[in-house]
Amino acid sequence: MATLSSIGIGSGLNANSIISQLVALERRPIEQLKTEAGRIDAKLSSFGRIQSALDALRSAARTLADTSTWRAASATSADPAAIGVTASANSAPGSYAVQVNALAAAQMNATSAVADSATPIGQGTLTFEVGRWADDLSSFTPKDGTAPVSISIGPGEDTLEKIRDKINATQDIGVRASIVTDASGARLVLQSRDSGAASGFRVQVADADGNGGDDSGLSRLAYDPPGGAAANARTQAGRNASATINGLSVESPSNVFANVIDGVSLTLAKVTTGSVDVTVARDTASMRKSIDGFVSAYNDLVRLVREQTRYDPESKNAGTLQGDRTAIGLLSQLRASLGESSSASSVFGRLTDIGLSVRTDGTLEVSGSALDAGFAKLDELQRFFTVDSEAAGSSGLAARMRRLTDQLLADSGPMSSRQESLRQLKSMNGKRQATLEDRIALTEERLRAQYQALDASMARLNNLSGYVSQQITNWNKSTG
């Protein structure tokens, strides 16, 4: 008998449809597992968002618990166009009268004019040295830690522009060069890289044409008054900035006075005819911003957890983490830490004492006027947030919240443990799906084999039935 090539032909049944329906019934547990895997993924995603919100709260708590936050200072100048001022955490509050007597300057020299920047000057050696000139130019004192730097000017290198480029390409020379061109021609301008009296320079020349000391050849770049060579005229002397602060004379090689007043930096912009008031005070605005940042991070976390654990009896819609003990316990821990009374400050013991209150939904609300009043007792307000103590009820609010968030986010903490538990459930779910898929594949194979056997049996019976019918027909004909 020929082998049947398509299942169902022998029996006349739609075997493929029957097998598909039977397999679909077998797959129902897998579909349920996939649905459950989706729920697990959703929970992992929710805990990931909660973990990020917790980390934001921890960061805000750390900032608020850091004593440097409460040492922040702000500084103002009565004439910022003349004196700029910045303060740091080490700045002591106070008022200062500052008068600018002179601004810092860098030494500047200019050569005599030549036709243009491509005009050859001459060959030889330039030697630069950084240091301080006497007021009458009678002496030059090299700057400590520096050494003379020589530059050789050879054939094809002796134009103003080539000399400029060679000077600027030389390291540790202490001078930069540029070219100024006007109606008289081109001049090489040399300027100290740093301002200040101790950053002046002299230029000695060994002229290849032997005309050292005159205003020709490479010697036109020389500047060494004590030796008689000053063809390279000084147009500006190096000078320190000078000022008086509360009557005390001070100097700086630059126009920035850093830490002349502890933690305060002054930037001089112009000479003043009188004193300018500079005020340094505690920066309560930045402190308030840190408190607002903490409140915002706390509220964002509470709203997120409440959203994920909610249940609406009217719509019967539940949050992804509805009934999850870890998420619900998190809210309880936050509320307990927030509501704890503290002896960290002798003035402020509870949230309401500084203008913070808990709304009915668990979020915090800030009373600006009450908090502003708290800043009037700044040291005590700082203690209310920052004191870190192992004794029960004696830690500041931010210190408590920082410790709690550290525990919650630790590798062995409840957040990591719950997420690891969910990941294990996801892994087990995947393994069960794989096992069921293997079993269903075997079931389908078995069903197909059974229906193929049924097809073969039905085919034989049909053939037999046809043969018997034919024999009966033939017999009837022969007896008729």
> Which domain, by its residues, includes 170?
108-236
End position of a domain, from candidates 217, 250, 282: 282
Identify whether residues 261 and 336 lie together within a single domain: no
pLDDT in the model for residue 307: 93
Identify whether residues 171 and 193 lie together within a single domain: yes
* Amino acid residing at 319: G
What domain count does the chain have? 3
Identify whether residues 350 and 412 lie together within a single domain: yes
In a domain? residue 14: no
Identify whether residues 180 and 258 lie together within a single domain: no
**What is residue 4's DSSP assignment?**
P
In a domain? residue 374: yes
In a domain? residue 423: no
H helix runs in 310-396, sequence order: 325-339, 368-374, 378-386
Confidence of residue 459 (pLDDT cuts 50, 70, 90): low
Q: What is the mean pLDDT of residues 248-261?
A: 94
- Secondary structure (DSSP) of 38-103: HHHHHHHHHHHHHHHHHHHHHHHHHHHH-GGGGG-EEEEES-TTTEEEEE-TTPPPEEEEEEEEE-
Identify whether residues 97 and 40 lie together within a single domain: no
Identify whether residues 382 and 325 lie together within a single domain: yes
* Amino acid residing at 195: S
pLDDT in the model for residue 228: 47
With a cut of 80, say whether residue 251 has pLDDT above it.
Answer: yes
In a domain? residue 11: no
Report the mean per-residue pLDDT for the chain.
89
With a cut of 70, say whether residue 104 has pLDDT above it.
Answer: yes
In a domain? residue 431: no
Identify whether residues 305 and 401 lie together within a single domain: yes
Identify whether residues 319 and 247 lie together within a single domain: no
CA 392/CA 252 separation, integer angstroms: 52
End position of a domain, from candidates 168, 203, 236: 236
- Secondary structure (DSSP) of 156-217: T--BHHHHHHHHHTSTT--EEEEEEEETTEEEEEEEESS-SGGGEEEEEEEETTS-TTSSSG
In a domain? residue 353: yes
Structure tokens that stand for 192 in this block: 């100290």
Identify whether residues 245 and 146 lie together within a single domain: no
User: What value does the CA radius of gyration of the chain take, rounded to a whole number of Å?
Assistant: 45
* Amino acid residing at 176: R
Identify whether residues 351 and 275 lie together within a single domain: no
Task: Give residue-wise pLDDT tens across range 290-346.
Answer: 999 999 999 999 999 999 999 888 888 888 999 899 999 999 999 999 988 889 999
End position of a domain, from candidates 223, 255, 282: 282
358 backbone dihedrals φ, ψ, rounded to 5°: -100, 125
301 and 57 in contact (C-beta within 8 Å)? yes
Task: Give residue-wise pLDDT tens across range 126-160.
Answer: 999 999 999 889 899 999 999 999 999 999 999 99
Instruction: Report the greatest alpha carbon distance in the chain.
Output: 158
Cβ neighbours of 82 (radius 10 Å)? 18
Task: Give residue-wise pLDDT tens across range 358-417.
Answer: 999 999 999 888 898 999 999 999 999 999 988 888 899 999 999 999 999 999 999 999
Identify whether residues 343 and 361 lie together within a single domain: yes
Identify whether residues 311 and 402 lie together within a single domain: yes
**What is residue 395's DSSP assignment?**
S
Counting residues of the chain whose pLDDT is more than 70, the rounded percentage is 93
**What is residue 181's DSSP assignment?**
E
β-sheet bridge partners, residue 185: 182
In a domain? residue 311: yes
pLDDT in the model for residue 214: 53
In a domain? residue 1: no
